[in-house]
């Protein structure tokens, strides 16, 4: 009987450990900011297709971007832990206690360590471009989000993403200026759209980036203008006539952003930005592939 009882207890502990392990994995997945990380990684994959990268090089490029995005997301949640606890953010895994700070710190470090060799495997210039973008994102998490320069890391990181892809091609060519500009505008617009729901909590906890200083109405308007400017640059930038899809994309972007502007306090502006980015990806793959 004692042996049977011990076995039952051992089974219960094993089940509990498996359950806690699964919860920790879910917590890590939620703490990496999965939607933005996935969106940027898909955007990078689309750029590799549009640029005509070889499959093996494209896989390394996308892997580097994924690792970088994971490191940035985990770094962000770890850096925001005290503020999230102060504002009762139970939707954040760290603040809710779903995953430990040590686990998130370790995951961010591992992802960053993977990002470095994967980036450099795409070539020294390409790797440098990507690592500068990742460093800018970390700088935002650790310091710049509390300054008026909060938009710069987003613009820089997004703007360098096309360069990471094209510099990995034979001859290491730079991307066309219109593509860099469109990506940078999209990144800056995403920054303004992303912080809109949290402006009050940010101000209460000392986060005074540019959107927080400008206030929600102005920041919502700027988010829409920047994203619309990104789409317009992407549509009219390439040589040749604007296609029907380009004009349709431009009109749909304007309509989506006008709709999102009616609810600037929610997640709609950010989701609209992600939808616009998805439509831009289609344009890149269908119309810009060599």
pLDDT by residue (tens digit) across 127-168? 999 999 999 999 999 999 999 999 999 999 999 999 999 999
Residues 6+ apart with CB under 8 A from 284: 46, 47, 49, 50, 234
- Identify which has the larger pLDDT, 276 or 118: 118
Buried b (16+ CB within 10 A) or exposed e, 158-177: bbbbbbbbbbbbeeeeebee
pLDDT by residue (tens digit) across 223-241? 888 888 888 888 888 887 8
- Could you tell me which of 125, 136, 131 has the C-alpha nearest to residue 167? 125
9: in domain: no
Tokens 């990078």 appear where?
44
If one counts the domains in the chain, the total is 1
- Residue 12, Cα to own-chain centre: how many angstroms? 40
DSSP assigned state of 274: H
Structural domain for 162, as ranges: 26-287
Express as a percent the part of the chain with pLDDT over 90: 42
Asked if residue 11 has pLDDT above 50, the reply is no
CATH number of the domain to which 57 belongs: 1.10.600
CB 225 within 8 A of CB 241: no
89: in domain: yes
Structure tokens at 203: 């101000």
Distance of alpha carbon 221 from alpha carbon 245, whole angstroms: 25
216: in domain: yes
14: in domain: no
pLDDT by residue (tens digit) across 176-220? 999 899 899 989 988 988 888 888 888 988 899 999 999 988 888
- Could you tell me which of 138, 186, 183 has the C-alpha nearest to residue 160? 183
Distance of alpha carbon 96 from alpha carbon 287, whole angstroms: 45
CB 181 within 8 A of CB 237: yes
191: in domain: yes
13: in domain: no
- pTM, whole model, 2 decimals? 0.84
5: in domain: no
Distance of alpha carbon 7 from alpha carbon 3, whole angstroms: 6
12: in domain: no
Distance of alpha carbon 126 from alpha carbon 61, whole angstroms: 9
Tokens 């990104």 appear where?
230
């Amino acid at each position: 009987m004692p042996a049977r009882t011990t076995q039952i207890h051992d089974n219960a502990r094993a089940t509990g450990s498996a359950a806690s392990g699964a919860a920790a994995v879910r917590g890590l997945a939620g703490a990496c900011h999965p939607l933005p990380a996935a969106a940027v990684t898909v955007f990078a994959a689309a750029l590799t297709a549009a640029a005509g990268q070889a499959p093996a090089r494209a896989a390394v490029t996308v892997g580097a971007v994924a690792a970088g995005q994971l490191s940035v997301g985990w770094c962000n949640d770890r850096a925001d832990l005290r503020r999230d606890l102060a504002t009762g953010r139970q939707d954040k895994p760290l603040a809710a206690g779903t995953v430990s700070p040590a686990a998130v710190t370790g995951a961010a470090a591992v992802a960053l360590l993977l990002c470095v060799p994967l980036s450099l495997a795409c070539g020294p210039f390409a790797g440098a471009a990507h690592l500068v973008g990742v460093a800018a994102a970390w700088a935002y998490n650790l310091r710049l989000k509390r300054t008026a320069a909060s938009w710069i890391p987003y613009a820089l990181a997004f703007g360098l993403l096309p360069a990471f892809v094209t510099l990995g091609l034979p001859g290491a060519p730079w991307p066309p200026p219109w593509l860099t500009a469109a990506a940078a505008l999209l990144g800056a617009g995403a920054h303004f759209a992303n912080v809109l729901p949290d402006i009050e909590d940010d101000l209460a906890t000392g986060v005074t980036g540019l959107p927080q200083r400008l206030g929600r109405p102005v920041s919502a308007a700027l988010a829409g203008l920047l994203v619309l400017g990104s789409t317009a640059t992407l549509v009219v930038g390439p040589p040749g006539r604007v296609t029907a899809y380009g004009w349709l994309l431009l009109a749909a972007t304007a309509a989506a952003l006008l709709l999102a502007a009616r609810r600037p306090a929610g997640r709609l502006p950010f989701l609209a930005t992600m939808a616009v980015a998805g439509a831009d990806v289609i344009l890149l793959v269908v119309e810009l592939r060599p």
